């Protein structure tokens, strides 16, 4: 039985990924700051026949991550790390951006992934096996007015590619998914608040729809599996064709 650690596992893409990994036979450790939701998700996974446990931990807490990694590896290898913990941001101009928000986004989206990769990746390398999947974004690949969010996700792309090269000789693979507009609870909240225009999101995608959380989870599950044993250092868009659709539609003439 593989052991997977999923940060941000109490909701959204992290939750969907944790549930799918559990369904496919993995033992899952959920890491999140939402105690009530995290405990409930773990209980539901166990009730469905899985093996899951929840740990309250902020991914910005380096000592906490080191202690958790040491504790889990003392019981046996951690085979998969999914860095899903993240904070969204609304569109904002540089001079209007709250620097406290900037700091928090960088701490969670980028530094949290760095710290988790240090805590778990080093032990995976020592064990000679492992798979790490980071949650990038379309903003890893193209600019957006979400300045802090975009910078954090662009840096995650470089982190993914650099660690794939560094960890590869130790048989540890590092990949990422780049979800497009995905209908998570956080995204739905922003749609309800008027901070996102769902019509524009759908119109720009080649498939003319939003991505589901389960679709992103399926991509993560594949990258973490032995079926992807020769794949490392890639960032896979899961975007219903937003990248190609938006670029195609922006061309000065249409056929």
CATH at residue 111: 3.40.50.720
106 φ/ψ angles, rounded to the nearest 5 degrees: -65, -40
Residue 194 in any domain: the answer is no
Residue 156 in any domain: the answer is yes
Residue 245 in any domain: the answer is no
Give the tens place of pLDDT for each residue, 57-101.
Answer: 999 999 999 999 999 999 999 999 999 999 989 899 999 999 999
Give the tens place of pLDDT for each residue, 213-240.
Answer: 999 999 999 999 999 999 999 999 999 9
Residue 147 in any domain: the answer is yes
Residues carrying an active site annotation: 149
Residue 204 in any domain: the answer is no
Look at residue 195 in the predicted model and tell me its pLDDT: 85
Number of compact structural domains in the chain: 1
Residue 71 in any domain: the answer is yes
Give the tens place of pLDDT for each residue, 1-53.
Answer: 899 999 999 999 999 999 999 999 999 999 999 999 999 999 999 999 999 99
Look at residue 185 in the predicted model and tell me its pLDDT: 87
Residue 137 in any domain: the answer is yes
At what angle are helices 12-23 and 213-224 packed, to 10 degrees? 50
When pLDDT is cut at 50, 70 and 90, the band that residue 133 belongs to is very high
Question: Residue 186 to residues 183, 196, 245: CA-CA distances in angstroms?
Answer: 8, 11, 24
Nearest to 136 by CA among 161, 115, 111, 154: 154
Residue 135 in any domain: the answer is yes
Give the tens place of pLDDT for each residue, 39-58.
Answer: 999 999 999 999 999 999 99
Domain extent for 105: 3-180+211-240
């Amino acid at each position: 039985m593989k052991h997977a650690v999923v940060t941000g596992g109490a909701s959204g893409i992290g939750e969907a990924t944790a549930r799918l990994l559990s369904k496919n036979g993995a033992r899952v450790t959920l890491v999140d700051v939402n105690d009530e939701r995290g405990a409930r998700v773990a209980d539901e996974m166990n009730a469905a026949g899985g093996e899951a446990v929840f740990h309250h931990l902020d991914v910005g807490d380096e000592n906490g991550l080191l202690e958790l990694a040491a504790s889990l590896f003392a019981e046996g290898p951690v085979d998969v790390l999914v860095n899903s913990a993240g904070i969204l941001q609304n569109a904002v101009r540089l001079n209007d951006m709250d620097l406290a928000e900037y700091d928090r986004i960088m701490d969670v989206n980028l530094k949290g992934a760095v710290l988790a990769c240090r805590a778990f990746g080093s032990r995976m390398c020592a064990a000679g096996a492992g798979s790490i999947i980071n949650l990038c974004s379309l903003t890893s690949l193209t600019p957006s007015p979400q300045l802090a969010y975009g910078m954090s996700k662009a840096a995650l792309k470089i982190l993914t590619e650099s660690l794939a090269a560094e960890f590869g000789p130790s048989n540890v693979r590092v990949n990422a998914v780049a979800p497009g507009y995905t209908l998570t609870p956080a995204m739905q909240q922003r749609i309800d608040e008027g901070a996102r225009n769902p019509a524009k999101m759908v119109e720009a995608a080649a498939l003319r729809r939003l991505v589901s959380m389960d679709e992103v989870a399926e991509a993560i599950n594949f990258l973490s599996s032995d079926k992807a044993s020769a794949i490392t250092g890639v960032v896979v868009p899961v975007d219903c064709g937003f990248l190609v659709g938006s670029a195609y539609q922006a061309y000065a003439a249409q056929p």
